[in-house]
A and B are shown apart, each in its own frame.
Chain A
Amino acid sequence: MDAQPTPDPALEAAQRAGFDLNLIDCNLALSPEERLLRHDAALELAQELRKAGELRYAPSAPVAATAR
């Protein structure tokens, strides 16, 4: 029977911290250029979502008083 490979403490620590080890494998399979392009697309999406959130929760502008 084959012995189980020794678990790597660094991989275990990353997993415990919430990192998806499969996602790391996916990133490592990409070229450096692809990593940057994917990152920048994710950053752009995050910024769009942030902007949408700011618009949604921004206090509405005060209504100008009108004389009767």
Chain B
Amino acid sequence: MHHLHQLLQRLADAQFEFVVIGGYAGVLHGSSLVTNDLDLCAVLSPENIAKLRTVLADLHPVHRMTHKKLSFLDVPPAGTSLANLYLETDAGIVDVLTNVLGIGAYARLRQSATEFPLFGRRCAVISLEDLIAAKEAVGREKDLLAVKELRAIAAKRARS
């Protein structure tokens, strides 16, 4: 059972600083496209990795890209920094990137992020303009299709 919004709520409650990116950010901006995972941009310092471990511990997080689905609770060892994390949990898939192609690292994204009120919390979400630029930079067909809808959303917002 996947409940990405519950994953998001947990992370928002954990004093773990992140910006929502990818398809789920698109949904928050008004996209109708369905995505399978929660993508975040954050600083993956040893401290933040420890926070993530605590938050996700009971959801059996594993590294979904590893052959043996290694447990995130054991790998990497404490004190390690990472560039990216691709996790599968009981509540769904969560990917954490330290850098977004076409935009930059967490600090840059956070600067222009939009704050959304969500379930009594405030969540930083990549701005619509940055999301469009990021998807164009990735350039896969599915991203370029999503850009068409995101541009329509931007046009509708500009008119309202």
Could you list which residues of chain A lie within 8 angstroms of chain B, going by C-beta atoms? Answer: 8, 10-11, 13-15, 17, 19-21, 23-25, 27-28, 32-33, 35-37, 39-40, 42-44, 46-47
B112 contacts across to A, CB distance below 8 A: none
Additional A-B contact list (10), CB under 8 Å, known A28-B153, A40-B5, A43-B36: A8-B159, A24-B152, A24-B153, A27-B32, A28-B160, A33-B119, A35-B28, A36-B24, A36-B27, A39-B4
**What is the CB-to-nearest-CB distance from A20 to chain B, in angstroms, rounded to a whole number?**
7
Q: Are B30 and A40 in contact (CB under 8 A)?
A: no
Cα–Cα, bound, A17→B116 (Å) = 28
Q: CB-CB contacts of B146-160 with A at 8 A, as 1s and 0s?
A: 001101111111011
Whether the Cβ atoms of A32 and B32 lie closer than 8 Å is: no
A14–B132 Cα gap in the complex (Å)?
Answer: 14
Decide if B32 touches A19 in the complex (CB within 8 Å).
yes
CB distance from B40 to the nearest CB of A (A): 14
Describe A's contact surface by its main secondary structure: helix
B152, A39: Cβ atoms closer than 8 Å: no
A42: which B residues are within 8 A, CB to CB? 34
Q: Does residue B99 face the partner (Cβ distance < 8 Å to A)?
A: no
Residues of B participating in the A interface, judged by any CB pair closer than 8 Å: 1-5, 8, 24, 27-28, 30-32, 34-36, 116-119, 145, 148-149, 151-157, 159-160
| A13 and B152 contact, CB distance less than 8 A | yes
* Shortest distance from the beta carbon of A58 to any chain B beta carbon, whole Å: 21
In the complex formed, the residue of B with least CB distance to A36 is B5
Pairwise interchain contact B30-A28, C-beta atoms closer than 8 A? yes
Closest 3 CB pairs of A and B: A14-B152, A10-B155, A10-B151
Smallest CB separation, A32 vs chain B (Å): 4
Q: Are B155 and A8 in contact (CB under 8 A)?
A: yes
Does the CB pair B156–A17 fall under 8 Å? no
Tell me whether A36 and B156 are in contact in the complex, defined as CB-CB below 8 angstroms, given that A43-B4, A43-B36, A46-B34 are known contacts. no
Question: Once bound together, how far apart are the Cα atoms of A11 and B4, in whole Å?
Answer: 29
Asked if B34 and A39 sit within 8 Å, CB to CB, the answer is yes
Shortest distance from the beta carbon of A6 to any chain B beta carbon, whole Å: 11
CB neighbours of B117 from chain A (8 A):
32
